[in-house]
Amino acid sequence: MGIVKGDQMVLNIGPQHPSTHGVLRLKVVTDGEIVSDIEPIIGYLHRCFEKHCENSTYEQVIPFTDRCDYIASMNNNFGYVVAMEKLMEIKVPDRVEYIRIIMAELNRIASHLLALGVYGLDVGAFTPFLYMFRDRERILDIFELTCGARLLYNYMWVGGVSHDLPVGFVETVYGFLDYFEPKLKEYNEILTYNKIFIERTADVGVLPPEVAISYGVSGPNLRGSGVKWDLRKDEPYSIYERFDFDVPVGEGTVGTTGDCWDRFYVRMLEMTESAKILRQALKDLPQDGDVHQAIPKKIRPPKGSIYQRTESPRGDLAYYIISDGTPQPYRLKMRSPAFTALSVLNEISRGWMLSDVIAILGSLDIVLGEIDR
């Protein structure tokens, strides 16, 4: 923070606040309405995830990973499970791979719907929030159909998944996709191309690509700045190379490349791409195969370490696991994408007004559970 000059005011956007996406505290030094410095203070949701993992077995870690990024739990599970399978060199059956991809992409759509709806709410548009939540409810119903849980699933296990797909699953998902794809046009009309929304978000909080890479920003935030980098295409894991989809990139359509509107629009386009992947996966889903076939009886990985990156809806989620041959991890570090996204807030909000800080924070799409762990 340093020394506050005479005419500056230190404001506290406190831990309890309607639009900080969790318990986040921002110490803002402003000059009137213009912000000169922001210091995010985190740690209100720290639950000692990494220390817990050192005292639990590898299977018991999976529910913990759910609770880190509670909005995209399937993707958290996915990252951990892919890392463990690489460490133990387990090959899972095809059906399991397809099921995992379907769940991960459905959760990606749900996570983006929440991010975009809440962003509209931050900017003052109350109605798209409720529309997007209504559609997200349908996805959560699909998840409840499969594994019984709406938000925290504990679904992907090392070597397989916990429950096989129920009867009628494929038809339900096809029904959802047919319902959902026309909705994206509706959202574009009421929010994305709304003149007032464009005024609030275009040219605001521009993130240049070099700054983004230096700050470790990834995912839609990085793609909004024009860098075409998607781990599903560039370092494919699981069976992502079998699918045909595009990687949307921000191009500064209504403002500068890398502004809040671009990040918003990239997320909007990614939902279309996920729908594409879902249709392909549903078509190719193998009908037979035992989902519990490759699950080891006791997880005791060989000594060694692994660093595995996967693409979660917020960016580049990575697990660094050190195993010493016992059934409990020796060290498990989760590298969360929202952590790096929040660290760039100071850099891109300088010189903007207080309302813009809220708009920029919303466009970075952070989840405090993932940042604090």
Partner 1 sequence: MTDNLEQLIKEAVEKALEGDMDAVNNIEDRVTRSKAKAALVKAKREAAKEETEANPDENSNDSSDSKQDKTTNEHIAELLIQQFPGDINKELSSQEHIQIQSKKWLVISTFLRDDPSCLFDSLQCITGVDLGEESDLEVRYNLHSMTHRHAVEIRISCPRNKAKVPSVESIWRIGDWFERETYDMYGIEFEGHRDLKRILLPEDWEGWPLRKDYEVQETYHGIVVQKVKEGWE
Partner 2 sequence: MIVDRLIDWLPTGVAWPGLTFIVAVILCAVPVFLFIAVYALVAIYGELKISSFIQDKVGPMGQGVGLHAWRWGLLQPVADALKLILKEDIIPSAADKKLFILAPFIVFIGAFIAFSALPFSQTIIIADMNIGIFYILAVSSLGVIGIILAGWSSNNKWSLYGAMRSAAQIVSYEIPAALSIVVVIMLTSTMSMQGIIQYQSGLVWGFLPNWLLFNNPFTFLAFIIFFISGVAECNRTPFDIPEAESELVAGAFTEYSGMRYAFFFLSEYANMFVVSGVAAAAFMGGWQSPIPGMFDTPGWGLFWFMSKSMFLIFMMIWFRWTFPRLRVDQLMDVCWKGFIPISLFNIFGVGIWYLLVG
**Interface with partner 2, residue 17, by CB under 8 A:** yes
Give 90's Cβ-side CA count (13 Å radius).
26
**With CB cut-offs between 5 and 8 Å by kind, which of partner 2, partner 1, none does residue 355 bind?**
partner 2
CB closer to partner 2 out of 11 and 282: 11
Q: Binding marks (x or -) toward partner 2, 180..209, rule CB under 8 A? A: ----------xx--x-xx-xx---------
Encode 130-198 in three state secondary structure: HHHHHHHHHHHHHHHHHHCCCCCCCCEECCEECCCCCCCHHHHHHHHHHHHHHHHHHHHHHHHCCHHHH
- Helix (H) / strand (E) containing 12: strand 9-13
**With CB cut-offs between 5 and 8 Å by kind, which of partner 1, partner 2, none does residue 305 bind?**
partner 1
**With CB cut-offs between 5 and 8 Å by kind, which of partner 2, partner 1, none does residue 194 bind?**
partner 2
Give 324's Cβ-side CA count (13 Å radius).
6
What's the closest the beta carbon of residue 231 comes to partner 1, in angstroms?
11
What's the closest the beta carbon of residue 3 comes to partner 1, in angstroms?
14
**Interface with partner 2, residue 230, by CB under 8 A:** no
**Long-range contacts formed by 244-250: CB under 8 A, 24+ apart:** 244/276, 244/280, 245/273, 245/274, 245/276, 245/277, 246/273, 247/223, 247/273, 248/223, 248/273, 249/223, 249/224, 250/223, 250/224, 250/225, 250/226
CA distance 203 to 269: 19
Residue 228's SS3 state is coil
Are 224 and 204 in contact by the 8 Å Cβ rule? The answer is no
- Per CB under 8 A, the list member of 230, 356, 365, 370 interacting with partner 2 is 356
Q: Which residue has the tokens 């249709």?
A: 279
What's the closest the beta carbon of residue 223 comes to partner 2, in angstroms?
24
Interacting residues toward partner 1 by CB under 8 A: 42-43, 46, 48, 50-51, 55-57, 60, 86, 94, 211, 213-216, 227, 229, 234-236, 241, 286-288, 305, 307, 309, 316, 318, 320, 322, 328, 331, 333, 335, 339-340, 343, 347, 372-373
What's the closest the beta carbon of residue 119 comes to partner 2, in angstroms?
10
What's the closest the beta carbon of residue 293 comes to partner 2, in angstroms?
43
**DSSP code for 24:** -
**With CB cut-offs between 5 and 8 Å by kind, which of partner 2, partner 1, none does residue 259 bind?**
none
Nearest to 313 by CA among 76, 63, 141: 76
**With CB cut-offs between 5 and 8 Å by kind, which of partner 2, partner 1, none does residue 51 bind?**
partner 1
Interstrand relation of 304-312 and 315-323 (parallel, antiparallel or unpaired): antiparallel
What's the closest the beta carbon of residue 363 comes to partner 2, in angstroms?
14
Q: Binding marks (x or -) toward partner 2, 114..153, rule CB under 8 A? A: ------xxxxxxxx--xx--x-------------------
What's the closest the beta carbon of residue 119 comes to partner 1, in angstroms?
23
Contact partners, residue 195, CB within 8 Å, separation at least 6: none
> Which residues of this protein are in contact with partner 2, per CB under 8 A?
9, 11, 17-19, 33, 120-127, 130-131, 134, 190-191, 194, 196-197, 199-200, 353-356, 358
